[in-house]
């Protein structure tokens, strides 16, 4: 191991110590054995991938396809077990074989045909995820796995040690032996330093590289199995974005991205730094965006510090290559200052934004005064729909005197949602309110929260009924799908073709609405036909392009239904620019985003509920539950400015969806 690596590991270890000290002070229940094991559980999937990524990067390569391979392996496993009726073990073995095959494709192109690893794995990155989406039609997911399998991802050995920790431990030992204690491992370093030199030294370069990529594929598929057991569901979006986290962990740990130097220990330190940071932020109720920002700053900081240290040392050893110049120092300082400014600026923003005192950053102090804490999670923080909900949640928090923690994944990510809930359980908040991204995966953690006396409500989208106390029902999927179909029929006079622009193909909510649109059309409007369905990935610009193409390929389409807040204005702009007066847009979106198009007559109807009221009602219900004012079996309850709200079974009913049209849209501002 070279000196630079050692130095970076030391710097990283210091940073981890700082993290732990910091979060022990500001985080609640951070420094506890239970939280330690929770951190480890969260680290297993990423850890497996990072371990496998280490030799890949050591040999001077990279593997961007690992996250996509997780998705493919998960889908193959779930599909073979549930659809093809394979025994679990056989399905698992097949998933592992798929992992090896995928790794084999990478290996063939990289090791045999000498194509750059970045390009090859960029291609397989799309290919693997694409096959997974193709097999499942994006939407299908496989759940109801037997408890014996779920034990792998959710169980505890001897009551404290998470089961999957054993897998990680075994992988660590295996990779440590392989990289640091075997002839093969030495070959990785040699190849990374110089592939030609390695070949002349009689190292079978092709075979070694093949091994590295095969192992990477295998590790991804093992990670996929654990992921499936962890969140209780196999779906094509498993492991999205994991490749970047794994690469970050490896590089943070001092492995040179050019190959030839690095250690397994460094990777583990890098992994720990990332996981502790995320967990600590949850427990300190700091916003999740900080994780990304600090990871970035951490990356630059460790590398810059290492460079600085190496230069000082080298200067003494009169190495002409490394001279410490004022300009270099200036850049380093400015980087740190910029990082600090970002943090300071965002803190200022946070304080300014949440002056009402409902923010999470000061909760630790206030909780001592006996105020209730309600933790509320949107499906994704950046979605305009959820942003408009937040205002209502804050209004209610102020009115009913509770601390509100509003946090969630920055992009739709069911696995991340579980992490937040785990964090809140450890923090022991009084009530949790979740907009569920994936019912099968989150119900387990919600049950765990309930068993520890935390009140749980779901809002916007429901979990399994026994996993929560109440569901705040803004409108049923049947109601939404039916209303959209009715609005489309009104424009088409019950006859003609329409197209749907949906959010992501794998979004459970959207797929349910689409299903009810289809059902309603089939039963009530037999002369209407769904011409085509296209995804826009919740990207306004993509919705725009997709709509442009649809208009040309399907000239008979007269109505476009957008089922995504950014998708509706995107589709409307495309219709407007095409000059087609005969095509109209309707959909689920926010009034403010659509107002100009509604007035121009391009958008005929926007279907939604009053988002502010939904979140207001959610916080009120959660607070009432935690205070013991609302019990199971109630048939109505007093919800502040909304008056008496009806309860049916365990559903608190907000009302039916609202249709915004040219006549009424100006009365609303959200």
Site for another protein in 112-131 (CB under 8 A): 113-116, 118-120, 122-131
Q: Which is nearer to another protein, 577 or 638 (CB)?
A: 577
CB 494 within 8 A of CB 465: no
Q: Which is nearer to another protein, 362 or 411 (CB)?
A: 411
- 206 counts as binding another protein under rule CB under 8 A: no
Q: Which two tokens stand for residue 200?
A: 């002349």
Query: Residue 505 phi/psi, 5° resolution?
Result: -65, -25
Judged by CB under 8 A, the residue of 169, 545, 640, 658 near another protein is 545
Q: Which is nearer to another protein, 100 or 300 (CB)?
A: 300
CB 489 within 8 A of CB 524: yes
- 137 counts as binding another protein under rule CB under 8 A: yes
Task: Give a three-class secondary structure readout of 556-586.
Answer: CEEEEEEECCCHHHHHHHHHHHHCCCCCEEE
Size of the site for another protein (CB under 8 A): 90
Footprint on residues 138-197 left by another protein (CB under 8 A):
138
- 532 counts as binding another protein under rule CB under 8 A: yes
- 539 counts as binding another protein under rule CB under 8 A: yes
Q: Which value, to the nearest 10 degrees, does the dihedral of the CA atoms of residues 327, 332, 337, 342 take?
A: 120
Footprint on residues 240-279 left by another protein (CB under 8 A):
244, 247-248, 251, 256-258
Footprint on residues 501-530 left by another protein (CB under 8 A):
505
Q: Which is nearer to another protein, 38 or 538 (CB)?
A: 538
Judged by CB under 8 A, the residue of 266, 569, 591, 657 near another protein is 569
Footprint on residues 389-448 left by another protein (CB under 8 A):
390, 410
Q: Which is nearer to another protein, 109 or 225 (CB)?
A: 109
Q: Which is nearer to another protein, 136 or 154 (CB)?
A: 136
For residues 207 and 189, give the distance between their C-alpha atoms in angstroms, rounded to a whole number: 14
Closest approach of Cβ 384 to another protein, in Å? 6
- 237 counts as binding another protein under rule CB under 8 A: no
Q: How many CB atoms are closer than 10 A to CB 590? A: 22
Q: Which is nearer to another protein, 355 or 552 (CB)?
A: 552
Judged by CB under 8 A, the residue of 82, 346, 362, 478 near another protein is 346
Q: Which two tokens stand for residue 106?
A: 């990478």
Residues 6+ apart with CB under 8 A from 357: 366, 398
Residue of 477, 587, 485, 478 whose CA lies nearest to 526? 485
Closest approach of Cβ 7 to another protein, in Å? 14
Q: Which two tokens stand for residue 660?
A: 């915004």
Closest approach of Cβ 115 to another protein, in Å? 5
Judged by CB under 8 A, the residue of 16, 193, 303, 530 near another protein is 303
Decide the pairing of beta strands 644-648 and 528-535. unpaired
Q: Which is nearer to another protein, 230 or 311 (CB)?
A: 311
For residues 171 and 481, give the distance between their C-alpha atoms in angstroms, rounded to a whole number: 47
Judged by CB under 8 A, the residue of 289, 361, 519, 651 near another protein is 289
For residues 425 and 456, give the distance between their C-alpha atoms in angstroms, rounded to a whole number: 11
Q: Which residues of 533-546 are buried (b: 16+ CB within 10 A; e: fewer)?
A: ebbbbbbbebbbeb
Closest approach of Cβ 57 to another protein, in Å? 10
Q: How many CB atoms are closer than 10 A to CB 126? A: 12
Footprint on residues 352-371 left by another protein (CB under 8 A):
353
CB 417 within 8 A of CB 377: yes
Footprint on residues 376-395 left by another protein (CB under 8 A):
381-384, 386-387, 390
Q: Which is nearer to another protein, 410 or 515 (CB)?
A: 410
Q: Which two tokens stand for residue 267?
A: 């990777």
Q: Which two tokens stand for residue 46?
A: 């990423």
């Amino acid at each position: 191991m070279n000196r630079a690596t050692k130095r970076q590991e030391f710097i990283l270890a210091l940073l981890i110590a700082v993290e732990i000290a910091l979060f022990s002070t500001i985080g609640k229940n951070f420094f506890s054995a239970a939280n330690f094991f929770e951190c480890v559980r969260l680290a297993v999937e990423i850890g497996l991938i990072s371990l496998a990524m280490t030799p890949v990067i050591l040999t001077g390569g990279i593997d961007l396809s690992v996250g996509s391979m997780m998705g493919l392996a998960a889908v193959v496993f779930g599909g073979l077990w549930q659809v093809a009726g394979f025994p679990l073990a056989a399905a698992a073995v097949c998933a592992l074989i798929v992992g090896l095959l995928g790794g084999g494709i990478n290996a063939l192109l990289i090791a045999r045909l000498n194509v750059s690893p970045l390009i090859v794995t960029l291609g397989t990155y799309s290919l693997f995820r694409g096959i997974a989406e193709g097999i499942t039609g994006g939407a299908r997911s496989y759940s109801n796995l037997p408890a014996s399998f779920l034990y792998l991802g959710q169980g505890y050995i001897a009551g404290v040690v998470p089961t999957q920790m054993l897998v990680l431990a075994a992988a660590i030992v295996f990779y440590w032996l392989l990289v640091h204690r075997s002839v093969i491992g030495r070959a990785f370093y040699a190849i990374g330093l110089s592939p030609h030199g390695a070949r002349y030294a009689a190292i079978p370069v092709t075979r070694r590289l093949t091994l590295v990529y095969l192992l990477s594929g295998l590790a991804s598929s093992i990670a996929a199995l654990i992921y499936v057991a962890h969140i209780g569901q196999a779906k094509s979006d498993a492991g999205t974005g994991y490749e970047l986290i794994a690469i970050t962990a490896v590089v943070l740990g001092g492995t040179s991205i050019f190959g030839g130097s690095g250690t397994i220990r460094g990777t583990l330190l890098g992994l720990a730094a990332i996981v502790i940071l995320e967990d600590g932020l949850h427990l300190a109720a700091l916003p999740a965006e900080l994780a990304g920002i600090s990871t970035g700053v951490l990356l630059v900081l460790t590398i810059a510090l290492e460079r600085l240290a190496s230069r000082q040392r080298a200067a003494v050893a009169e190495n002409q290559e490394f001279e410490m110049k004022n300009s270099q120092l200036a850049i380093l300082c400015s980087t740190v200052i910029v990082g600090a400014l970002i943090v300071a600026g965002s803190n200022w923003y946070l304080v300014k934004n949440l002056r009402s005192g409902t923010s999470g950053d000061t909760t630790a102090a206030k909780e001592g005064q006996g105020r209730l804490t309600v933790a509320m999670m949107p499906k994704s923080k950046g979605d305009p729909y959820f942003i408009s909900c937040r205002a209502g949640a804050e209004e209610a928090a102020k009115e009913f005197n509770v601390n509100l923690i509003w946090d969630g994944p920055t992009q739709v990510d069911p696995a991340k949602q579980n992490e937040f809930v785990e964090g809140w359980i450890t923090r022991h908040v009084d009530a949790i309110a979740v907009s569920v991204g994936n019912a099968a995966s989150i119900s387990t953690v919600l049950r765990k929260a309930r068993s520890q006396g935390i009140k749980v409500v779901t809002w916007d989208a429901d979990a399994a009924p026994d996993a929560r106390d109440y569901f705040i029902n803004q409108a049923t999927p049947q109601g939404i799908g039916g209303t959209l179909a009715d609005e489309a029929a009104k424009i088409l006079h019950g006859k003609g073709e329409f197209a749907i622009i949906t959010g992501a193909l794998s979004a459970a909510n959207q797929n349910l609405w689409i299903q009810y649109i289809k059902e309603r059309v089939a039963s009530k409007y037999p002369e209407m036909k769904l011409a085509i369905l296209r995804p826009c990935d919740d990207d306004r610009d993509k919705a725009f392009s997709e709509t442009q193409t649809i208009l040309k390929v399907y000239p008979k389409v007269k109505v476009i239904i957008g089922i995504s807040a950014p998708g509706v204005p995107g589709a409307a702009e495309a219709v407007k620019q095409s000059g087609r007066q005969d095509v109209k847009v309707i959909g689920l979106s926010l009034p403010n985003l659509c107002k100009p198009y509604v007035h121009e007559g391009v958008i005929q109807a926007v279907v939604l509920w009053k988002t502010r009221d939904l979140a207001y009602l959610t916080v009120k219900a959660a607070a009432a539950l935690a205070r013991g004012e609302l019990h199971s079996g109630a048939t109505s309850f007093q919800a502040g400015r909304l008056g008496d709200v009806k309860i049916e079974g365990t559903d608190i009913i907000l009302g039916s969806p609202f249709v915004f049209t040219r006549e009424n849209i100006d009365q609303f501002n959200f």
